[in-house]
A and B are shown apart, each in its own frame.
Chain A
Amino acid sequence: MNLKNYPRPFYAINQFCQPQCTELAGRSFYFDMDGGYDYELKVLTGDTCEWNIAGEEPKKAVYECLKGDDTTYMFDFDIVGAEPRQNFFFCIDLEQSLVTLVRCYIGRNPKFPLLVASEYDFGAIRVEGQPLPKKRHCLTGEMMGTTVEWHWNITMFTQHNYYSPAYYRITWPQYSSAEGSISPNFEVLAASDEISQYVKIKDKMYLYCLTEEMMERELGDSSPFRSNNMIFLQNYDRMYHVGRTFGSIMMDGKVVPCRTMFGSFGNPVRLEYNWLTAENPFTV
């Protein structure tokens, strides 16, 4: 049998997602956060945890965890019962005893209620017998100038240009299946530039965060994608990333939650000079 024809389900950006990691089960963490509210996290099982702001009652959640390298984890869960929806994304760095928390909220913008708003908080992990580190993960401009091709599934790859501390832009060649699957949404936009944030975790490891904000502002319900926040834990030592989406999508005319775990394999790519240097029409 030609296993190309194995009866697999439809995959989009989730085919090359690495599997859920359950090795934190049984561990507890105290996150000393610069934002003023410390967090406690108790990982109960391979997919459940309890979390709370220090001093408050623990709340249960179902989590997802992927590894960016041997000691760096993305640990992600939706807040149970939150309406509109909320999501907490922790980047737990056991090598440096550091943590980054990205809190994502839907419903904060009265004009664009599906827009995902993000808050970033940096902190350190308390480890018995060791002083709290003074260093932090931090917002960075170090990724500026990076062009990279990401392979998401057996037919789809996209090319990213991280050129500004506030934006990125995306393209793909015609022989990528992105041409048929996602290009119609971009063709009606003035450009593919989209709102981004960049966080340095360590040498060659970054959190790259984007929100489909321009798409939501410009297209609204004429696009199936409704302001997803995507966080990539990018490993430029090994050239792959893991990540997740949090947002909404249109399905049969209705807005439904969109939560996808994803991953992809990368390689350097040479892109057209004119595209790389084209003006971003969404900025002054």
Chain B
Amino acid sequence: MNSMYGGVYIPNLANDAKQYGIGEYRFAHNYEFAGKTFKICADGKEYTLHFCCEHGVEFNGEKTEWECEKLEKTMYFVRFGANCAAIDLENGLATLVLDGEEKPVLGVIDGYEPKEKQAICTDDMVGTFVRWVFGVNRYVNHDYCAPGKIRSAWARHTVHIGGGRSFRDGWQPTDADYVEEDAVEVKLGGAYYLVIVDAKMPEGEGYVAPADVKKLVLLEDYDRCMTVGCAFGSEGGPIMMAGYAMFLN
């Protein structure tokens, strides 16, 4: 965003980083898992995640790539291929969201004996109305309106029209911009929740998220009020994200 002063353009490093879309605030990749292996047990099944190096992982023996964002001291969000996981090294919990599976896998990491396990929420989050800001003017409003239901509204692009003004300056979603989506919310303990949204992208032009996103998975921390996660299903590939919360009620 440059400004003009006396006919001279003054450079300004602040920008809207539009090349990253809703992935703008993605944290730096975290490589702490490189070289580590986790055996995860859930419902009598065993899953193995072997992080071979900073980019390659084997999941149950199948090779794919991975990326990780760290949310808190011992809380990580990992995407591997079309799958993802919330890994809690304090309590030894691994919650897997696997491509094609309807429900998340609530697993325990081998070697840990957690005092409390993760659990599917009932009405734990109902009443929460939060905006997750993923970039400059790029956000989604999430209204946890009923167990397993979220009302969502994505922001729309601002378009600079000159004179320092933008089309849609101060734009706010109205009722018509909200869609109701199915969601699975998992309580991970403390302030942490994993929210898996069966995304129904709004019809029409100008929304900040790609129209073909199918699934949104967010690891949300209501203590520090930040989130990391991933939007899946878009033709451009999975979009790793991070952002901060603004409460709307």
Contact = CB atoms under 8 A, between A and B. Distances in A.
* Chains A and B come from one and the same complex: yes
Contact of A23 (B31, B222, B223): B31
A6 B244 contact: no
A146 B13 contact: yes
A19 B72 contact: yes
Contacts of A22: 32
B128 A2 contact: yes
Contacts of A239: 14-17, 24-25, 135-136
30 contacts: A1-B123, A1-B124, A3-B125, A6-B222, A8-B191, A15-B224, A15-B225, A16-B225, A16-B226, A21-B28, A21-B70, A67-B30, A69-B28, A146-B13, A154-B244, A154-B246, A154-B247, A237-B17, A238-B26, A239-B15, A239-B135, A265-B25, A267-B14, A267-B137, A268-B1, A268-B14, A268-B15, A268-B16, A268-B136, A270-B164
Nearest to B20: A238
A240 interface: yes
B205 to A, nearest CB: 23
Given A19-B71, A268-B1, A154 B225 contact: yes
A8 B223 contact: yes
A161 B71 CA distance: 30
Contacts of A266: 14, 136
Interface residues of A, number: 46
B20 A1 contact: no
Interface size of B as a range:
35 or more
A1 B128 contact: yes
Given A4-B130, A16-B244, A68 B28 contact: yes
Top 9 A-B pairs ranked by shortest CB distance? A67-B28, A145-B10, A268-B14, A2-B127, A148-B14, A4-B247, A268-B1, A6-B222, A3-B222
Contacts of A143: 13
Contacts, number: 129
Given A11-B224, A23-B32, A239-B135, A2 B72 contact: no
- Interface SS majority for chain A: loop
A240 B25 contact: yes
B174 interface: no
Given A145-B3, A151-B244, 6 more contacts: A4-B129, A19-B71, A206-B13, A236-B13, A238-B17, A238-B20
B58 to A, nearest CB: 20
Contacts of A96: none
A151 B243 CA distance: 11
A236 B128 contact: no
Nearest to A146: B13
A75 B244 CA distance: 24
A265 B128 contact: no
A18 interface: yes
Contacts of A20: 73
B73 A3 contact: no
B28 A236 contact: no
Given A2-B128, A23-B32, A265 B243 contact: yes
Contacts of B22: none
A21 B15 contact: no
A19 B225 contact: no
B1 A6 contact: no
B18 to A, nearest CB: 11
A265 B129 CA distance: 21
Interface string B71-91: 111010000000000000000
